[in-house]
Structure 1
Amino acid sequence: MQPTDFLTRLAGDRLAAIVRGRSADAALRTVLTLVEEGVGLVEVSLNTADAYDVIARAVRSAGGGALIGAGTVVTREQLLRARDAGASWIVTPVVGDGVHAAVEQELPVLAGALTPTEAHTAMAAGASAVKLFPASLGGPAYLRAIKDPFPELPVVPVGGVDADSVPAWFAAGALAVGVGSPLVGDAAHGGDLGELRLRVRRFRSVVA
């Protein structure tokens, strides 16, 4: 997928799920449950057990409608392994080698940034959008302040975003939201998938 097409998809879906788990099998089940419930953008963090294998299995099982990404990508080697596993988009915690390698490989990348300088640097490096992280540090008011001088900046808040705060993030100018534990809970560690389905439905109703 081309970066411009991914940005359109991100703006349409408005929700990206973040899966990080201690069990590879539980992480895979979590990814597939999210997809079954209509979440079309799922990031598998490289902190997950056997993350590259989880990505590869998820890509094979999820079907063409869902886009499986790789998160916590820091190095070029990680980027290339994630690409080879089938990841179609990339998320980084910082602006560094992972961002530059993703741009070279023409993979869409959400680059982690917090300050206006970091956000500007991320976009100048070729990022598709900025992952505002940790978003909880400043909240929606902080995003609104950043958007004042950069109204066209595509921003995806990550870190501390829960269902109750989603409307405020969108009102502040977020393109989409990235959600980990408030959505996934303990499912990726072997927790209840039924509870996961309920959380997904709540989040989807909020972002719709």
Structure 2
Amino acid sequence: MTGDTPRIALPPRSVESRLIVVARAKRAEDYDAVLEVLVDAGIRSVELTLTTPGTFDHFPRLLAQFGEVADLGIGTVTSSADLGRAVDVGAHYLVTPITSTAFVQQATDAGVPIVPGGLTPTELFASWSAGASAVKIFPAGQVGPAYLKDLRGPFPDLVAMPSGGVDLAGASAWLAAGAVAVSVGGPLLGDAFSGGDLTALHDRAQAFVEVCAR
């Protein structure tokens, strides 16, 4: 990457908390109660996924309710049109599971942080050198924290976060390996979107918050 390549920093709250919760619901209306619990437990960054029907339409309401205390990003962005719409509804950051330098350029031009996914050194470096805010090691469960340590050899400045299969112990290990944050879904959310105990969700969220704050 050349010194004049623009790069937009990740939102400060996401970086300070070192934890992003990936929320996949059956429908967008299910976000409300879960986000209320997450925010109350200290979660300060939530990625709302486009695999949840109605995310775009419901996003402004969530932003109005939670946007002052937590970063709300839009994830599973897989098209230029969806990226543009995510920018238009006010996403604090964007996440895509794929490597696309075109997406990085589009998000950077719009002034919104973007975290593209990738697994191989070639994929991760392509996004990083194009100006990504950070890169998402995905699926992280297939490699493990030692992989990030290996990447630090050729890419010492790489800002990376793991996503996919990161549990409580894994969160601690990835952060110790140098991840800027961890992206966590199922191990934290559990059955919260299918009628699960929200008190238990609160406890799990607090446990992750405490581990990531160390």
Q: TM-score range by the shorter chain?
A: over 0.9
State the SS of the aligned residue for 2:183: strand
Question: What RMSD, in angstroms, separates the aligned Cα atoms of the two structures?
Answer: 1.6
Tell me the residue number matched to 1:47. Answer: 51
Name the TM-score, length of structure 1 as normaliser: 0.92
Tell me the residue number matched to 2:16. Answer: 12
Map of 1:69-84 to 2, 5 A cutoff? 69-84=73-88
Tell me the residue number matched to 2:185. Answer: 180
| Aligned residues between the structures | 206
Report the Cα offset of residue 86 of structure 1: 2.0
Map of 1:142-157 to 2, 5 A cutoff? 142-157=147-162
Instruction: Tell me the distance in 2 between the aligned counterparts of 1:104 and 1:190.
Output: 40
- Closer, same or farther: CA 5–142 of 1 in aligned 2, 3 Å: closer
Match of 1:121 among 100, 121, 126: 126
Instruction: Tell me the distance in 2 between the aligned counterparts of 1:184 and 1:125.
Output: 33
After superposition, give the CA deviation of every residue in 1:77-123 in whole Å (9 maximum; x if it has no partner): 10121122221100010122433321221100111011111111001
Instruction: Tell me the distance in 1 between the aligned counterparts of 2:176 and 2:212.
Output: 12
Map of 1:61-100 to 2, 5 A cutoff? 61-96=65-100, 97-100=102-105
Matched, 1:195 2:174: no
State the SS of the aligned residue for 2:9: helix
| Amino acid across the alignment from 2:176 | A
After superposition, give the CA deviation of every residue in 1:134-176 in whole Å (9 maximum; x if it has no partner): 0011101111111122121101100010001222112211111
Name the TM-score, length of structure 2 as normaliser: 0.90
The alignment-based identity, stated in percent, is 42
Report the Cα offset of residue 5 of structure 1: 5.6
Unpaired stretches in structure 2, ≥5 consecutive residues: 1-6
Deviates more, 1:106-115 or 1:89-98: 89-98
Instruction: Tell me the distance in 2 between the aligned counterparts of 1:186 and 1:53.
Output: 24
Instruction: Tell me the distance in 2 between the aligned counterparts of 1:37 and 1:137.
Output: 29
State the SS of the aligned residue for 1:144: helix
State the SS of the aligned residue for 2:187: helix
Match of 2:172 among 163, 167, 192: 167
Matched, 1:112 2:140: no
